[in-house]
Structure 1
Amino acid sequence: MINQWKAVLFDLDGTLLDSEWFYYKAWKKALETHGFALESYVWLNEFAGTTDRQAFELLRNKYGLKADPETFFSEVRANVAQQHEKEVVPLMPGAADLLSFLHHRGVTMAVVTSSKRPVATYHLEKNGIKHYFRVLVTRTEVDRPKPDPEPYDLCVAQLKLEKADCLALEDSVTGTTAAKAAQLTCFGVQTHESIRQKLNADLTFDNLHEVREYLED
């Protein structure tokens, strides 16, 4: 099955990295100082895959958050820094196996993320997987982040491949929308069934182990 594609393009947070809970804790703590309680199911359903600015605008417009954005982001960054001192954001289950599988079959790999480049690079290096990826497209390089197709369009252009030769892996509605808008085949990978059912994907899987099994078959 993997012979159908020359490249696999990975989303980062929630797809390669088990980071949604990590960032949820940082945002939740910051929001509590402004009298706002953020439930985990709301975070997963509405904020996964968004940029910080997109998430803040949603909180302000839909939920009435009154915080100053720069002050708020400083609080989030401080929380993230404290958490980094205590824990490493791990890979998603099956990620290392899938990367090795694709590498040994000569499949080109890239990362397309809404995180900024320094953050994405830090996590890829910390987990020892940066060398797998030929291209890294982040929020830093684009004017219009996901759900706009620009990040995926840029990645495919940098890889110098046809879109039909590229497979995208995403865990969020924001990400799958971007991949499909870029006219890519997209697999949704999401453990939470309620979110998985909402993904705009060609196929959906519970985890990366299942993706690897499918591609091997």
Structure 2
Amino acid sequence: MPLRAILFDHDGTLVDSEPVHYALWQTVLAQYGVSLSEQLYRQDYAGVPTKANAVDIVHRFELDELPETLVAAKDAATSEYLRRNAFPLMNGVLETIREFRLCGLDLAIVTGAGSESVYATLKANNLGDSFVTVVSGDDVRASKPAPDCYLLALRRLGLQASECLAVEDTQHGLKASHAAGIGCLAVPTTMSMHHDFGVAQAVLEGMPQVTEHVQQLLKVEKLKQFTHLG
């Protein structure tokens, strides 16, 4: 089936948020006497939903605290940050969105995180009309790496998995799209470059390369259609 939609992850894919999330976790954990190294954050926590991170942190550091308490503290810290700022866009994001819309592709955001940061991004960059739908971790029972968020996005778009392509920066996100039957372009960051992207359709350097890759796919589709008609 022809490509009809691109489904973007948010954190680490559209926005450079992981350094901020790391700093916020550091602040939350400081009151428990825990210092989370950047290496450990990259290895185990980057790109993972807050709830899953909280459970692991409580177990790993043997904290006498409920994971839900850490989640509430991290969410509050994130909300406070977002009241003053939006996460900065990754290089080339605006150009990629503009190009894909000109190509007639539907766009969606599919994130395992909460919706608050996504809507802050859309508002700060006047992108509210660019996306057909936004699916966040608030909308599903099981977040990434479960496929629930992608399956919900397919239902909202009214499309088959074979008509869509995902863009992710982490192994967790790749697992989610793959489990939903959606091909994925991986764009690793410094926080996720060590992840296993073996099942990705392609591993690319950044958004400009994503744009080029998708443009090439569309050209091949048009050529096949022309050949078939001929």
What is the TM-score with the length of structure 1 in the denominator?
Answer: 0.89
Separation of aligned partners in 1, 2:89 and 2:19: 13
> Superposition RMSD on alpha carbons, in Å?
2.1
Separation of aligned partners in 1, 2:196 and 2:13: 16
Match of 1:212 in 2: 211
Q: Deviations over 1:87-119 (max 9, x none)?
A: 431111111111011011110000111122233
Residue correspondence of structure 1 range 7-46 to structure 2 within 5 A: 7-46=5-44
On the 8 A contact 1:135/1:158 being kept in 2, the answer is yes
Separation of aligned partners in 2, 1:97 and 1:42: 33
**Unmatched runs of 5 consecutive residues or more in structure 1:** none
Separation of aligned partners in 2, 1:86 and 1:162: 39
SS at match of 2:203: strand
Match of 2:3 in 1: 5
Match of 1:142 in 2: 140
Separation of aligned partners in 2, 1:103 and 1:52: 31
Separation of aligned partners in 2, 1:175 and 1:167: 13
Residue correspondence of structure 1 range 48-197 to structure 2 within 5 A: 48-84=46-82, 87-192=85-190, 195=193
Residue correspondence of structure 1 range 195-206 to structure 2 within 5 A: 195=193, 198-199=196-197, 200-206=199-205
Separation of aligned partners in 2, 1:68 and 1:33: 14
Match of 1:47 in 2: 45
Q: CA deviation at 1:71?
A: 3.8
Separation of aligned partners in 1, 2:121 and 2:10: 9
User: Which range moves more in the overlay, 86-95 or 150-159?
Assistant: 86-95
On the 8 A contact 1:20/1:44 being kept in 2, the answer is no
Separation of aligned partners in 2, 1:126 and 1:99: 15
Larger radius of gyration: 2
Q: Deviations over 1:48-78 (max 9, x none)?
A: 2222111101112334333333443343344
On the 8 A contact 1:36/1:65 being kept in 2, the answer is no
On the 8 A contact 1:90/1:127 being kept in 2, the answer is no
SS at match of 1:168: strand
On the 8 A contact 1:26/1:80 being kept in 2, the answer is yes
Match of 2:226 in 1: none
SS at match of 2:129: helix
On the 8 A contact 1:149/1:178 being kept in 2, the answer is yes
Amino acid at match of 2:99: F
Amino acid at match of 2:200: A
